[in-house]
Amino acid sequence: MNIHKIIRAITAAILVSVTLISCAPTGAPEVQEPKTKARSNYEFFDTVSVIMSYKGDAEAEFSANATAVFDLLGEYHKLFDIYHEYAGVNNIKTINKNAGIAPVEVDERLVDFLLYAKEIYTLTEGKTNIAMGSVLKLWHDAREHGADNPDGAYIPDGAALSEAALHTDINNLVIDEENSTVYISDSKMSLDVGAIGKGYATERAAELLISRGVSSYVLNIGGNIRAIGQKVTGEGWLTAITNPDKTSSESFACKVKIKNTSLVTSGDYERYYVVDGVRYHHIIDPVTNMPADYFSSVSIFTLDSGLADALSTALFCMSYEDGLRIVESIEGVEVIWITKGGEIKKTDGITLV
CB 333 within 8 A of CB 301: yes
Residue 204 binds what, of Mg ion, ligand ADP, none (CB under 5 to 8 Å, by partner type)? none
Q: Which helix (H) or strand (E) holds 208?
A: helix 197-211
d(CA 39, CA 67): 9
SS3 assignment, position 224: strand
- Taking only Cα atoms into account, the Rg of the chain, rounded to an integer number of angstroms, comes to 20
Query: What's the CA angle centered on 59, arms 58 and 60, to 5 degrees?
Result: 90
Residue 124 partner contact from ligand ADP, Mg ion, none using kind-dependent CB cut-offs of 5 to 8 Å:
none
Q: Between 182 and 283, name the residue whose CB sits nearer to ligand ADP.
A: 283
Of 3-11, 64-72, 123-131, 163-171, which part binds ligand ADP (CB under 6 A)? 123-131
Between 297 and 326, how does the x/- string for binding to ligand ADP read (CB under 6 A)? ------------x--xx---x---------
Q: Which does 270 bind (CB under 5 to 8 A by kind): Mg ion, ligand ADP, none?
A: ligand ADP
> Which residue, 57 or 270, is less far from Mg ion as judged by CB?
270
Candidates 57, 91, 94, 194; binder of ligand ADP (CB under 6 A) is 194
Quick one: 236 or 286, whose CB is closer to ligand ADP?
286
Instruction: Please say which residue, 175 or 214, places its beta carbon nearer to ligand ADP.
Output: 175
The closest residue (CB) to ligand ADP is: 194
- Of the candidate residues 69, 195, 256, 327, the single one contacting ligand ADP (CB under 6 A): 195
The separation between the first and the last C-alpha atoms of the chain, rounded to the nearest angstrom, is 38
CB of 186 to ligand ADP, least distance (A): 17
Residue 284 touches ligand ADP, criterion: CB under 6 A: yes
- Reported in sequence order, the residue ranges of the chain that DSSP labels E, i.e. its strands, are 20-21, 37-41, 49-53, 104-105, 173-176, 181-184, 217-221, 224-228, 237-242, 252-258, 262-267, 272-275, 278-281, 284-285, 290-291, 295-302, 334-339, 344-346
Query: For residue 130, what are the contacts with CB-CB under 8 A and spacing of at least 6?
Result: 114, 117, 120, 121, 170, 173, 191, 192, 193, 195, 196
Q: Which does 48 bind (CB under 5 to 8 A by kind): ligand ADP, Mg ion, none?
A: none
Q: Is 282 in the site for ligand ADP (CB under 6 A)?
A: yes
Q: How far is the CB of 194 from Mg ion (least distance, A)?
A: 8
